[in-house]
Amino acid sequence: MGTYRAMVVHREGDALVRRLETLNSSDLPAGEVLIEVHYSCHPGLSPHARY
């Protein structure tokens, strides 16, 4: 598949920070599943959501 965009969550101190990153499918651990999503409307997955 090559590269893809993903929302990745990083821990920075006590905070969890979400970022959209370009990743490579070869970076996935063995046995992981990669799905291709064309549309999503789940508000909790928005990088702009406020909790």
Reported as a single tens digit per residue, the pLDDT across 31-51 is 877 777 777 666 666 666 555
Between CA 51 and CA 47 the distance in angstroms is 11
Here the tokens at position 32 are 């992981």
Q: How far apart are alpha carbons 14 and 4 in whole angstroms?
A: 28
Lowest mean pLDDT among 2-6, 15-19, 25-29, 43-47: 43-47
Is 14 among the domain residues? Answer: yes
Q: What 3-state class would DSSP assign to 23?
A: strand
Q: Structurally, how many domains does the chain consist of?
A: 1
- Asked if 17 contacts 46 with a C-beta cutoff of 8 angstroms, the reply is no
Q: What CA–CA distance (Å, rounded) separates 9 from 49?
A: 14
Q: Is residue 51 part of a domain?
A: no
Percent of the chain with pLDDT over 90: 18
Query: What pTM does this model have?
Result: 0.51
Domain assignment present for residue 34? The answer is yes
Range of the domain at 37: 3-45
